[in-house]
């Protein structure tokens, strides 16, 4: 590498992301190492539900609690190539036991005869100290921290990762950190970016945010999916080429499937964000409203314009707590009136078990969700009239109860529907009866940074890491409610899909939907039609409070895009929700049916 007088890199560096979640394909890392010409390889494994799963594993075995795939199936086979190509690795694979992950990786390297300096970032795991945070309250509800938690982790930032790399680490393993930090950390280390260089930190965070979900920015989950489908079998994973000033290009390895275009990258930029003027991270508060994307060659998109300001003085902390048990069953039913038969059978099963529960003084179910998959029930009042006439559905029944005995009763009553209820029942899916599972409920709070000491362990040494704790973030004003006037004159209605692309995601019990105008002249039409109130009414069937629920809207002028945040739209969200789509992944697809008034002359020209 070319170095400045201060020892920092003076040319672009290439960072590839090989994992969007624990369970992503193990082929991505080899693809990026062998064909990506990388300087850094990063992995994002963690989500709130993942943390609770890993915490449960550590309770059973003190050597568990990390993403074992990272060591066994990814790093061990690639160690010789990583060393030969001098590729450094950053991964949040440590979960709730980063030291065990470090030990396992060091053992794998020793077995291969490879000298490897592995560092871990420590300090995010607050579960053993939860009594120290008894004064913390839940964001939004103000409820106190529960006495029992399965996991409790602060979202750390990029500075400890940068310090570990500066200390000579070949591999940096973290526990919980913000997803984009695995990219920003190497950039701060390589370019010498300061902790108060906020515009560059915002640019590096945006680079991390774009590639943190793997193939979602290279054509995965893309609205115009038919442009990409022939590449699904060999999807290219993303690479960012980042300059010392923070400008960057998004690309992928040559010859791989997928697509890197302004729209594939922009969909990912809008994924799982709230206010685009205040995307809050531990190191910087980002403003994405003036970001611009432009083609920079075949499967190459240049990104610029991110702005930053000082972060807050707190860390977001996510805890999970036990919230009863759940059990879910799936069965198919076919023939005329399949959906009616399926719902009647499912309702009867629930009612039958409910009577037994009350007779045994176990109390009623704390939650029930019945969904006839295939009848467009998730669309609520927007389902097509003919959908209810489908001749086959998969019926999902999910129930929740504090006592596992109640769910065992439910599990035993499913099969009898095959002979004692509606015709066309073909049996339920899975081997044997469905089993109850613990429900981990999310609790999010804020903790002062001054109360979260951070360390890096490398080799046999440990050292403390100081991070800025003063904060300084200034919240932007509420979003403007005004929208362009609806078009006048001779108009026709077109589905939003003809005018826009969209991507949806989740943050706890909230869902976001990013909407991107296909052409700049479409944006005023979309803004006029898609008010916050119109989107609230469209999704009233999933919002807590229905038509009195809360939806916010923001504009991103730099990219001709809108972002909507649907508060309490996921039935509790994640593993706490009984819904079939507990993360709002299909919300954008539902919104693309929204009718938008368009001048007839423009509609005829499309």
Q: How many independent structural domains does the chain possess?
A: 3
Q: Is residue 7 part of a domain?
A: no
Which pLDDT score, from 0 to 100, does residue 3 have?
Answer: 56
Domain, as residue range, for 203: 13-126+155-314+457-462
Q: Is residue 549 part of a domain?
A: yes
Q: What is the DSSP string of 341-407?
A: HHHHHHHHHHHHHHHHHHHTT----SEEEEEEETTTGGGGGGS-GGGGG-SEEEEEEEEEES-HHHH
Residues 308 and 352 in one domain: no
Structure tokens belonging to residue 290: 């003036």
Residues 223 and 289 in one domain: yes
Bridge partner residues of 501 (DSSP): 516
Which pLDDT score, from 0 to 100, does residue 1 have?
Answer: 45
d(CA 536, CA 223): 22
Residues 536 and 434 in one domain: no
Q: Is residue 3 part of a domain?
A: no
pLDDT along the chain (606 residues), means of 10: 62 97 95 98 92 88 95 97 98 97 98 97 96 94 92 97 98 98 98 98 98 98 97 97 98 98 98 97 98 98 98 96 93 96 97 97 97 97 94 97 95 91 85 86 95 96 97 92 84 98 95 98 96 97 97 97 98 91 96 97 91
Q: Is residue 450 part of a domain?
A: no
Structure tokens belonging to residue 387: 């959908």
Q: Is residue 139 part of a domain?
A: no
Q: Which of 433, 420, 186, 187 is nearest to 328 (CA)?
A: 433
d(CA 288, CA 284): 12
Residues 338 and 216 in one domain: no
Contacts of 225 (CB under 8 A, 6+ apart): none
Residues 351 and 308 in one domain: no
Residues 375 and 417 in one domain: yes
Q: Is residue 486 part of a domain?
A: no
Q: Are 157 and 178 in contact (CB under 8 A)?
A: yes
Give the CA angle between residues 34, 225, 537 to the nearest 5°: 130
Walk across the sheet containing 510-517 and list its strands: 500-507, 510-517, 561-566, 551-556
Residues 247 and 120 in one domain: yes
Which pLDDT score, from 0 to 100, does residue 431 have?
Answer: 65
Residues 365 and 305 in one domain: no
Residues 373 and 225 in one domain: no
Q: Is residue 448 part of a domain?
A: no
Residues 230 and 102 in one domain: yes
Question: Which of 410, 440, 470 is the last residue in one of the domains?
Answer: 440
Q: Is residue 320 part of a domain?
A: no
CATH number for the domain that contains residue 420: 3.30.70
Which pLDDT score, from 0 to 100, does residue 483 have?
Answer: 76
């Amino acid at each position: 590498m070319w170095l400045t007088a201060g020892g920092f890199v003076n040319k672009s560096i290439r960072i590839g992301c090989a994992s969007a979640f624990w369970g992503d394909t193990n082929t991505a890392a080899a693809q990026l190492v062998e064909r990506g010409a990388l300087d850094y390889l990063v992995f994002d494994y963690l989500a709130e539900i993942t943390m609770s799963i890993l915490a449960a594993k550590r309770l059973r075995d003190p050597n568990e609690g990390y993403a074992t795939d990272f060591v066994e199936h990814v790093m061990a086979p690639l160690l010789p190539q990583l060393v030969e190509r001098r590729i450094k690795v950053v991964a949040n694979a440590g979960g709730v036991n980063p030291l065990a992950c470090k030990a396992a990786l060091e053992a794998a390297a020793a077995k291969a005869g490879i000298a490897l300096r592995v560092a871990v970032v420590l300090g995010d795991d607050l579960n053993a100290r939860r009594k120290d945070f008894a004064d913390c309250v839940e964001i939004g509800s103000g409820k106190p921290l529960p006495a029992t938690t399965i996991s409790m982790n602060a979202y750390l930032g990029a500075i400890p990762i940068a310090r570990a790399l500066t200390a000579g680490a070949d591999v940096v393993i973290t526990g919980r950190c913000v997803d984009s930090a695995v990219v920003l950390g190497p950039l701060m280390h390589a370019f010498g970016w300061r902790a108060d260089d906020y515009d560059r930190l915002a640019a590096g965070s945006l680079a991390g945010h774009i590639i943190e979900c793997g193939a979602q920015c290279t054509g995965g989950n893309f609205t115009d999916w038919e442009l990409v489908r022939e590449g699904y079998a060999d999807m290219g994973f993303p690479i960012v080429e980042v300059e010392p000033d923070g400008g960057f290009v998004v690309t992928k390895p040559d010859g791989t499937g997928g697509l890197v275009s302004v729209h594939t990258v922009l969909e990912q930029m809008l994924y799982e964000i709230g206010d685009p003027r205040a995307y809050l991270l531990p190191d910087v508060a980002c403003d994405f409203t003036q970001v611009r994307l432009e083609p920079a060659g075949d499967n190459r998109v240049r990104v610029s314009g991110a702005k930053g300001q000082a972060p807050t003085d707190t860390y977001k902390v996510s805890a999970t707590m036990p919230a009863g048990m759940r059990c879910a069953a799936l069965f198919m039913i076919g023939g005329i009136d399949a959906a009616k038969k399926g719902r009647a059978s499912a309702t009867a099963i629930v009612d039958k078990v409910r009577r037994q529960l009350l007779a045994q003084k176990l109390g009623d179910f704390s939650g029930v969700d019945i969904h006839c998959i295939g009848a467009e029930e998730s669309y609520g009042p927007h389902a097509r009239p003919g959908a209810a006439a489908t001749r086959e559905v998969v019926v999902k029944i999910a129930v929740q109860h504090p006592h596992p005995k109640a769910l065992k009763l439910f599990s035993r009553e499913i099969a009898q529907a095959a002979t004692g209820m509606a015709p066309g029942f073909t049996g339920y899916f899975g081997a044997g009866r469905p089993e109850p599972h613990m429900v981990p409920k999310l609790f999010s709070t804020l903790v002062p940074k001054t109360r979260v000491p951070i360390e890096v362990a490398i080799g046999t040494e440990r050292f403390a890491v100081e991070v800025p704790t003063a904060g300084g973030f200034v919240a932007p004003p509420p979003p403007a409610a005004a929208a362009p006037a609806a078009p006048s004159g001779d108009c026709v209605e077109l589905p939003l899909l003809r005018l826009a692309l969209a991507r949806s995601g989740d943050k706890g019990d909230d869902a976001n939907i990013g909407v991107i105008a296909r052409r700049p002249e479409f944006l005023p039409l979309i803004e006029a039609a898609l008010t916050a109130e119109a989107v609230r009414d469209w999704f009233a069937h999933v919002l807590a409070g229905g038509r009195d629920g809360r939806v916010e809207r923001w504009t991103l002028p730099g990219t001709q895009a809108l972002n909507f945040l649907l508060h309490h739209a996921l039935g509790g969200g994640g593993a706490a929700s009984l819904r079939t789509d507990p993360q709002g992944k299909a919300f954008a697809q539902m919104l693309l049916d929204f009718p938008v008034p368009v001048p007839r002359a423009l509609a005829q020209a499309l």
